[in-house]
Amino acid sequence: MRLVLRLPAGWGAETRDGARTRVAIEPDVSLLVDPLVPFPDDLDAWVRTFLVRDLPPTWVVDIERREDGTTELGWPMITFRLQVRDQAEVKERQICVIYRLLEYLGAVKVRGTTGRWPAIEASLLSVLHSGHPDWGGDAAVCIADLLSLDGGS
């Protein structure tokens, strides 16, 4: 099972970055898709950790806006627009999205420098709103997957 996004033609190929999938959109903009995880008991704590993950300890994350919404297919999502800085100098812009997919959480982070950000932000948001689960794979998604439905024990 995994989170699926509709990527435009011309965006870079998907590569694995540990457990995450990385897509190079432009030389200075990348999209990171985390594997699905069980939805946490304390979402706020999980989000705080996610927003600062992979950043140098001296960098500060400013949340410019938080938006609760839904994907094109109706899955709940929370979008964070961030500015990341080291002291007063802006280092990068980010859009982070948390998806509620039944009892699972999907997370995506788009990171980039401020140069080309305004020109591609609308495309990024369109891709992020296309997020939906693909329940394929060997992992059990629900209790019915664990039980034999053919009358056996």
The domain ranges of the chain are 2-146
Is it true that domain 2-146 has CATH number 3.40.1000.10?
A: yes
Beta bridge partners of 49: none
Q: Is 49 exposed, middle or buried (0-12, 13-18, 19+ CB in 10 A)?
A: exposed
Mean pLDDT of 92-97: 96
User: What is the predicted pLDDT for the residue at 151?
Assistant: 53
Max distance between CA atoms of the chain, in angstroms, equals 65
Mean pLDDT of 97-116: 92
| pLDDT tens for each residue of 107-130 | 999 999 867 788 888 999 999 999
User: What is the predicted pLDDT for the residue at 14?
Assistant: 78
Torsion-angle region of residue 27: left (phi > 0), alpha (psi -120 to 50) or beta? alpha
User: What is the predicted pLDDT for the residue at 146?
Assistant: 62
Structure-model confidence comparison of residues 117 and 54, the more confident one: 54
Mean pLDDT of 6-11: 87
One-letter identity of residue 41 = D
User: What is the predicted pLDDT for the residue at 93?
Assistant: 94
3-class secondary-structure state, position 100: strand
Mean pLDDT of 18-24: 85
Mean pLDDT of 74-96: 94
Task: Specify the pTM.
Answer: 0.86
